[in-house]
Structure 1
Amino acid sequence: MAATVAIVADRIAWEERQLIAAAPGLGLTIEWINDESLCLGRADAPVLARYDAILLRSRSYTRGGLIAGLAEETGARVVNTARAINLCENKAVLRSTLRAAGVPVPEFRLVLSRADFTRALADFGTPVVLKPVYGGMGKRVALIRDADTAHSVYDYVEDLGHAFEQACLVEPFLAGGASTRCLVIGDELIGAAEFTSGGDDWRNNAALGNTSRPAADTQEVAKLVNGVLDVLGPGIYGIDLFHTPDGFVVNEVNHAPGFRAVAQATGVDVAAAVGRYVHEVLS
């Protein structure tokens, strides 16, 4: 009998459609549950009772960890774990945790106020990148090239952002560097793609339509991926690396990664790899 899996997500995108379409051939039945409809809190969570596993793909950087934690309380098998998702959702905590484990990350400053921002600029100079602690898909990430515009940019954070959204990171801009997305399923690196910015947009992010090509699975990349897995445990992750003159650094880890760009660049069958991992989790 096929295992029944719930994809908990805010929407059905290309990745979810691929997984649902491939499910019968993988010995799975996969159904979508809107992450806004769960109303979790009961210890037995009847809304999840009929599922053998929960594949959490909420793209929200607040919902994922909350849902995973409450789902795990019911005894549900959740991919990824609540601990891993909570770490991935918070860029500052993730970077400090990885750094403590010996995994290289970009230098950064946590900015919670204009005073913090001023000190970060003094530390790094310009150009710098200003990005939200909570967020993904390249949204609200700003490149500040000149000191005379820096505080004007920060006005938007200070005046328009809610307190939650005002938590930011400032980091030096790595000029001219491509980024590499490593797609991990379980404890295996199944594919990697190098992204370069397209058109006038400087950001290297597949969600923004940047160009991609297969990336080499080097010993350095494998070591970094293993270091991340030592911290987070097995799961389904998009590990984003920055190229620097001194080697790669881990920029962030996505807990509900888009994998279209990696699949198209490398030809890897991501749905099959996810199916194998779900069966492994259930065994």
Structure 2
Amino acid sequence: MSTLGLICTMLTPENMALKSAAEASGASLKIIRDEQQAYLLAGDSIFNGLNVALARSSSFTRSVYLSKLAEEAGVPVINTSHAQSLCGDKALTSAFLMKKGISTPKVLLAFSPASALQAIESIGYPAIIKPPVGSWGRMVCKVNDRHAAEAVVSLKDSLGHYTDKVYYVQEYVDKPQRDIRVFVVGDEVAFSIYRKISESSSTSFITNLNHGGTAEPFELTPEMKELVSKTVSALGAGIYGIDLIEYPDGRLGVLEVNHAPEFSKSAGPNTPRVAEKIVQFALAQARQ
């Protein structure tokens, strides 16, 4: 019988569903709460006996560190620390997608207020400024003119975190009031949805479900499936939330790839089935 590790910060609805799916599979489950202890940098006994682990920490930093420690202990982790590092930092994600020839919006990276304003002017208005590391659409700003750009850049420059000194400037895509979330397990699509901007939302472009966006089941077109397949092939099989964006001229692009995607709101009543797929995929990767 395999032992599955669940590395998490708290028992979210997704992690509760994964816990139930693991118990139903007959596997032994060990929950590792990332904040509840200190960890040896080599040979920590907490990873002893694990055959495979799922990385579901709420924190990108904690997730990468603990995944790397588990891997050094010989435990396969889903997703790998390498895939997490690529997906958890939007700048690295964009650079990776561009290198692999995968369509994605244009991005410029800057490290000072002056060069950030130059980047925004180069991209053209409107432009998007977002933190390279973050989730739930937090601190994502659309700047429509120079005055807005100066205000946002000045605010970011006054903040204390080192990532606030990294200016990720992305072209604005005038999408049709929605984007597409594709949830991948292994190398297969588990489900796909439109994420639509809520009519009551205070924003005019953020589709995130935690910002009031709404989910609607959607069947991918062959072109979308091909783009998703190309992205997963480049990253390696795993658990991903791939966000696709539709350009006004009909082209498609990959906006982001999430390495520990939430799924209870988007999958709805199918949440247990998705959790079962994840657990089955994880156990198939278990070391013997």
User: What is the alpha-carbon distance in structure 2 between the residues aligned to residue 223 and residue 176 of structure 1?
Assistant: 20
Give the 3-state SS of the residue equivalent to 2:119 in structure 1: helix
Deviation at 1:176, TM superposition (A): 4.1
Fraction of identical pairs, as percent: 30
8 A Cα contact 1:183 1:189, kept in partner: yes
1:271 counterpart = 2:270? no
User: What is the alpha-carbon distance in structure 1 between the residues aligned to residue 144 and residue 112 of structure 2?
Assistant: 20
Deviates more, 1:117-126 or 1:252-261: 117-126
Residue 219 of structure 1: aligned partner: 222
Deviation at 1:78, TM superposition (A): 0.8
Residue 257 of structure 1: aligned partner: 261
User: What is the alpha-carbon distance in structure 1 between the residues aligned to residue 51 and residue 272 of structure 2?
Assistant: 26
Using the size of structure 2 for normalisation, the TM-score is: 0.91
8 A Cα contact 1:40 1:71, kept in partner: no
Q: CA RMSD in A?
A: 1.9
User: What is the alpha-carbon distance in structure 2 between the residues aligned to residue 230 and residue 71 of structure 1?
Assistant: 24
User: What is the alpha-carbon distance in structure 1 between the residues aligned to residue 66 and residue 272 of structure 2?
Assistant: 30
8 A Cα contact 1:193 1:265, kept in partner: no
User: What is the alpha-carbon distance in structure 2 between the residues aligned to residue 180 and residue 268 of structure 1?
Assistant: 22
Cα distance change, pair 266–248 in 1 and its aligned pair in 2 (3 A): farther
5+ long unaligned stretches in structure 2: none
Residue 182 of structure 1: aligned partner: 182
User: What is the alpha-carbon distance in structure 1 between the residues aligned to residue 271 and residue 21 of structure 2?
Assistant: 15
User: What is the alpha-carbon distance in structure 2 between the residues aligned to residue 171 and residue 265 of structure 1?
Assistant: 35
Residue 50 of structure 1: aligned partner: 49
8 A Cα contact 1:134 1:165, kept in partner: no
Deviation at 1:89, TM superposition (A): 1.4
1:12 counterpart = 2:15? no
1:74 counterpart = 2:66? no
8 A Cα contact 1:193 1:213, kept in partner: yes
5+ long unaligned stretches in structure 1: none
Cα distance change, pair 38–188 in 1 and its aligned pair in 2 (3 A): farther
How does 1:1-283 map onto structure 2 within 5 Å? 1=1, 3-177=2-176, 178-198=178-198, 199=200, 200-202=202-204, 203-244=206-247, 245-264=249-268, 269-282=273-286
8 A Cα contact 1:213 1:266, kept in partner: no
Give the 3-state SS of the residue equivalent to 2:276 in structure 1: helix
Give the 3-state SS of the residue equivalent to 2:35 in structure 1: coil
Spell out, residue by residue over 1:53-86, the C-alpha distance to the aligned partner (whole angstroms, 9 max, x if none). 2110112222222221121011012111111011
Deviation at 1:114, TM superposition (A): 1.0
Give the 3-state SS of the residue equivalent to 2:285 in structure 1: helix
Give the 3-state SS of the residue equivalent to 1:256 in structure 2: coil
Give the 3-state SS of the residue equivalent to 1:269 in structure 2: helix
Cα distance change, pair 81–153 in 1 and its aligned pair in 2 (3 A): same
User: What is the alpha-carbon distance in structure 2 between the residues aligned to residue 8 and residue 207 of structure 1?
Assistant: 23
User: What is the alpha-carbon distance in structure 2 between the residues aligned to residue 57 and residue 46 of structure 1?
Assistant: 20
8 A Cα contact 2:127 2:144, kept in partner: yes
8 A Cα contact 1:190 1:268, kept in partner: no
User: What is the alpha-carbon distance in structure 1 between the residues aligned to residue 203 and residue 36 of structure 2?
Assistant: 36
The number of aligned residues is 282
Deviation at 1:277, TM superposition (A): 0.2
